């Protein structure tokens, strides 16, 4: 939706009147005026489940007791697929590609049930380029109905390689006295696979639960929580013996994400001082550890309000290569393919700031 009107819609089951969407924005505006917005709103017996992306609202309607988690996962998947197709998901890109959007909506869901949601597979038969109608091109790839619906058959590379990125983001809040009030680590394992055929990969991490199962609890281990996997991972295998076994998608993908709820010491420390001079100058000093000092002086027309303006925290952005604060490590990556080719994995570790804030004492 954009400019208070419906931009594009698709009714999958026909059990909700199309006119019901007209009640969505008035309900949302009423909630915003009251200062409270809810991700689920109701009008009569119709529920609106919505998310906002750039200048668009993506809204799902239902009159049944639907699985809300499934609906929101689908809405965010829509954003991901449309972004991969159009680079930017906004009003203009929808208007310029409405035919492709309708085709995608019809393939992403069938009669209210998510169907093919992998953009790489969708791009094999839904393209943005015009083409003559040929019988061969009207056939949907067999990948869509295969057990491995995220990878096409017959992929070939001259050089077989796997790149693994372990990226950890630190969420940290430090009070004005220097005490850590809250901290956790959110990690992702991303893959870029350029492998021929249909290889099976097995990834080994220094997982504490795995080491406890095997009785080899030696060295640094990591206890992961809220672990989420790409659909390619065999969950039954992971649940039984903590082995991460999968046939990977071709190209780039996010294999898994996790959270580590642990006390994190600040990696970067910031001190700040704000001083007011007379009524026309404010001086700000920001000191980072022992290496950097920033001093800024602002000449202002007038600074006469002596009331406290609040103490906004300092937000820090950083990236540290070749390091993970949790100590997680890729112990091995086994690649098994019937042709028997050899392929070595390349591993890169990155730590970066998430919601990293230090409160000021000025």
* CATH number assigned to the domain comprising residue 216: 2.60.40.1170
Spatial separation of the C-alpha atoms in residues 53 and 2, rounded to whole Å: 11
305 plus 336 within the same structural domain? no
The alpha carbon dihedral of 60, 65, 68, 73 has a sign of: negative
Reported as half-sphere exposure (CB side, CA atoms, 13 A), residue 122 has a value of: 23
Spatial separation of the C-alpha atoms in residues 271 and 359, rounded to whole Å: 9
227 plus 339 within the same structural domain? yes
Domain assignment of residue 149, yes or no = no
Rank 1-10, 108-117, 212-221 by mean pLDDT and report only the highest: 108-117
Spatial separation of the C-alpha atoms in residues 279 and 306, rounded to whole Å: 10
Q: What is the pLDDT of residue 164?
A: 97
Domain assignment of residue 143, yes or no = no
* Contact present, 111 and 123 (Cβ < 8 Å): no
DSSP letter assigned to residue 88: S
Query: Mean pLDDT throughout 176-205?
Result: 93
* 59-63, 136-140, 319-323: segment of lowest average pLDDT: 136-140
224 plus 344 within the same structural domain? yes
Chain center to CA of 212: 30
Confidence of residue 296 (pLDDT cuts 50, 70, 90): low
Domain assignment of residue 1, yes or no = no
Query: Mean pLDDT throughout 25-50?
Result: 91
**pTM, entire model:** 0.70
Residue 268, pLDDT above cutoff 90? no
Spatial separation of the C-alpha atoms in residues 125 and 354, rounded to whole Å: 37
**Mean pLDDT taken over the chain:** 85
Domain closes at, from 103, 123, 143: 123
Confidence of residue 233 (pLDDT cuts 50, 70, 90): very high
Residue 309, pLDDT above cutoff 70? no
| H-only helix segments in 200-247 | 208-214, 235-241
Residue 198, pLDDT above cutoff 80? yes
Spatial separation of the C-alpha atoms in residues 312 and 102, rounded to whole Å: 45
Q: Which range of residues forms the domain containing residue 170?
A: 161-265+320-358
Residue 348, pLDDT above cutoff 90? yes
Domain assignment of residue 128, yes or no = no
Angle between helices 98-108 and 68-86 (to 10 degrees): 140
Structure tokens at 93: 């890109």
* Contact present, 183 and 262 (Cβ < 8 Å): yes
Query: Mean pLDDT throughout 249-274?
Result: 88
328 plus 237 within the same structural domain? yes
Q: What is the pLDDT of residue 130?
A: 45
């Amino acid at each position: 939706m954009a400019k208070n009107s419906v931009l594009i819609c698709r009714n999958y089951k026909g059990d909700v009147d199309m006119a019901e969407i007209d009640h969505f924005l008035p309900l949302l505006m009423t909630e915003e005026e009251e200062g409270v917005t809810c991700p689920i709103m109701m009008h009569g017996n119709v529920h609106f489940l919505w998310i906002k992306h750039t200048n668009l609202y993506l809204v799902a309607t239902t009159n049944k007791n639907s699985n809300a988690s499934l609906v929101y996962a689908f809405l965010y998947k829509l954003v991901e697929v449309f972004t991969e197709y159009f680079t930017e998901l906004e009003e203009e890109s929808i208007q310029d590609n409405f035919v492709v959007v309708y085709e995608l909506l019809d393939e992403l869901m069938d009669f209210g049930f998510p169907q093919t949601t992998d953009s790489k597979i969708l791009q094999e038969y839904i393209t943005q380029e015009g083409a003559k109608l040929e019988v061969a091109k009207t056939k949907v790839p067999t990948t869509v109905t295969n057990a491995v619906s995220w990878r096409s058959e017959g992929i070939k590379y001259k050089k077989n390689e796997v790149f693994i990125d372990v990226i950890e983001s630190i969420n940290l809040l430090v009070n004005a006295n220097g005490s850590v009030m809250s901290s956790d680590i959110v990690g992702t394992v991303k893959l870029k696979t350029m492998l021929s055929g249909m290889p099976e990969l097995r990834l080994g991490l220094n997982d504490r639960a795995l080491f406890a199962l095997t009785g080899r609890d030696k060295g640094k281990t990591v206890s992961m929580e809220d672990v989420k996997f790409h659909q390619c991972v065999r969950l039954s295998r992971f649940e039984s013996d903590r082995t991460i076994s999968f046939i990977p998608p071709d190209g780039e993908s996010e294999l898994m994400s996790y959270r580590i709820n642990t006390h994190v010491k600040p990696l970067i420390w910031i001190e700040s001082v704000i001083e007011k001079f007379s009524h026309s100058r404010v001086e700000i000093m920001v000191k980072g550890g022992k290496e950097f000092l920033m001093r800024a002086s602002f000449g202002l027309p007038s600074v006469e309000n002596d009331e406290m303006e609040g103490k906004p925290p300092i937000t820090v952005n950083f990236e540290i290569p070749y390091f993970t604060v949790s100590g997680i490590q890729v112990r091995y990556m086994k690649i098994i393919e019937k042709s028997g080719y050899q392929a070595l994995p390349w591993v890169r570790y990155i730590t970066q700031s998430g919601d990293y804030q230090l409160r000021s004492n000025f």
